[in-house]
Amino acid sequence: AQSVTQPDIHITVSEGASLELRCNYSYGATPYLFWYVQSPGQGLQLLLKYFSGDTLVQGIKGFEAEFKRSQSSFNLRKPSVHWSDAAEYFCAVKPGSARQLTFGSGTQLTVLP
């Protein structure tokens, strides 16, 4: 069965600093990969997704993620963090044949002024 690991439970960065959130997956083939964000009291909003092709994908709100097959990773990045980026971030995978998403445990991002 597929699994997703987000090694960092909580990350704190200063506003304007760069950000990288880690995600590693375990699956026999290349799954479909997603990053979602959850702000307090809100649902899960899709930031970006990778299906195939260019391994660097651009998403909303200035986020990007890079798929590295050799490392089974799909890390999320942003060059300059804004205070409004404070939220919980979830990496998720879905094998090609399945409908269910498998989520990581999430990384809580705190942004300092």
Partner 1 sequence: EPEVTQTPSHQVTQMGQEVILRCVPISNHLYFYWYRQILGQKVEFLVSFYNNEISEKSEIFDDQFSVERPDGSNFTLKIRSTKLEDSAMYFCASSEAGGGADTQYFGPGTRLTVL
Binding site for partner 1 (CB under 8 A): 31-32, 34, 36, 41-46, 49, 51, 90, 92, 94-106
SS3 state at 31: coil
Bridge partners, residue 76, by sequence = 21, 65
Residue 10, SS3 per DSSP = strand
Closest contact distance (angstroms) between CB of 112 and partner 1 is 24
Cβ closer to partner 1: 30 or 75? 30
> For partner 1, which is the closer residue by CB, 19 or 106?
106
